[in-house]
Structure 1
Amino acid sequence: MALTQTQRVGIFAALILVMAATRIHHFNALPDASWGIFFLAGFWLRGSARWAFPVLMAAAVLIDYVVITDLGIDFWSHYCVSAGYWFLVPAYGALWMGGSWLAKRQHGLKLSTLGMAVAVLLVSEAACYVISNGSFYWLSSHVPAPKSFAAWFENLGDWYLPFLQTTALYAGLGAVLHVLALQVARVSQHHGQAQH
């Protein structure tokens, strides 16, 4: 389904709103959607990475800045902000690239597309997780020394499943919305053809 520029901007705005609502933790029951958002953005906004990815990345940093400083904490001294924080760019880039790769190679609403989507999500989410977790573990002063590969692998195992579940939840919701939008477009197209 080819998107118009207006549709792309609308999707982009919706993705930023969802990311802001969940990243701020304003609604405590909702986990952070950022990872799923970057994967879905790569899928839906494929070909718009030159403007969409940097703006989405800047929005993520701005949201973090607002939340942290609203707590009365200096942004640069917050627990989550270290030299590793800047590795979120390639980490989120892995999710974007996964979504974009899937968009280019998917073949419509087929079981094979679903299988490919699950595999691509698992690979891109794992790459994002290793980059973000590894950069925090190895570069943050908040992780006590001595640091070791054994301790890092244990840490990877502790947090992997929750991050995967949250990312899969939002990617799955996006997939449902995508299928619904395709079905609505088909019904509208058939209805338009029937009137002529």
Structure 2
Amino acid sequence: MTVTARRATIFALMAALIAATRLHHFAAIPDASWAVFFIGGFYLANWQRWAFPALMVLAVAVDWFVITSQGLSFWQHYCVSPAYWCLVPAYFALWAGGGLLRRHLSASAPIAIGQLVVALVASVAVCHLLAQGSFYWISASVAEPTLAGWWKNYSVWLLPYMRVAALYVGAAAMAHVLLTRVLPKPATAARPLHAD
């Protein structure tokens, strides 16, 4: 499989994961969007110019579909305030975290695991800061915002978001190890021996 075919397959899987899980924001299937943007930054950094915007458009389209299929106006929904557009830099923080991990990933497995954990935790913390912080401070949903109220909201929701992202990224990391190190590589044709 060529590099382009591999990237296209990964992009298709990422898009399918957003579509399948974002439809059920509060259902038993947790939303994989945060993990998808982190994983996308790791695998699709060379396609960032179009892959990141395409996944963002898909996420917004799924939100629009979910909200309007309930008979509600997308623009008047509780979650769609001016703060909604802060999801672009928030998700880009995840993408950048995945890209940084890719550029600095160690060949040593224990070090690579540590790098993955640090990159994911930092990316999710920044994403949550931008997404939750903008919703708290910019949307009209909080009547009297305070620093203490914001911090309580941030800290209460950080761990659940971290846990969901870690589950998906952990599954992707295991699949990566399985596909690149455990499964046998396809045999290459032996070079013909030339008589001297």
TM-score, normalisation: structure 2: 0.92
Q: Give the alignment of 1:1-196 within 5 angstroms.
A: 4-25=3-24, 28-108=27-107, 110-144=109-143, 146-183=144-181, 187-189=184-186, 191-192=187-188
Distance 1:183 1:114 in 2: 15
Q: Is the Cα–Cα contact under 8 Å of residues 21 and 27 in structure 1 kept in the other structure?
A: no
Distance 1:3 1:135, change over 3 A: farther
Distance 1:195 1:161, change over 3 A: farther
Residue ranges of structure 2 left out of the alignment (5+ in a row): none
Residue ranges of structure 1 left out of the alignment (5+ in a row): none
1:128-161 Cα distance to aligned partner (Å, 9 max, x none): 00000000000111122x1111110011111111
* Displacement after TM superposition at 1:28 (Å): 3.0
* Displacement after TM superposition at 1:10 (Å): 1.1
Distance 1:91 1:22, change over 3 A: same
* Displacement after TM superposition at 1:88 (Å): 0.3
1:14-44 Cα distance to aligned partner (Å, 9 max, x none): 1110111100018932100000000000001
* Displacement after TM superposition at 1:109 (Å): 5.5
Distance 2:108 2:68 in 1: 44
Please, what is the CA RMSD of the aligned residues? 2.0
Task: Please state whether the residue corresponding to 1:47 is helix, strand or coil.
Answer: helix
Count of residue correspondences = 192
Seq. identity, %: 44
Counterpart residue type for residue 188 of structure 2: G
Distance 1:134 1:90 in 2: 12
TM-score, normalisation: structure 1: 0.92
Q: Is the Cα–Cα contact under 8 Å of residues 25 and 31 in structure 2 kept in the other structure?
A: no
1:34-58 Cα distance to aligned partner (Å, 9 max, x none): 0000000000112110010000100
* Displacement after TM superposition at 1:183 (Å): 2.3
Q: After the TM superposition, which segments of 4 or more aligned residues of structure 1 sit over 4 Å from their partners?
A: 193-196
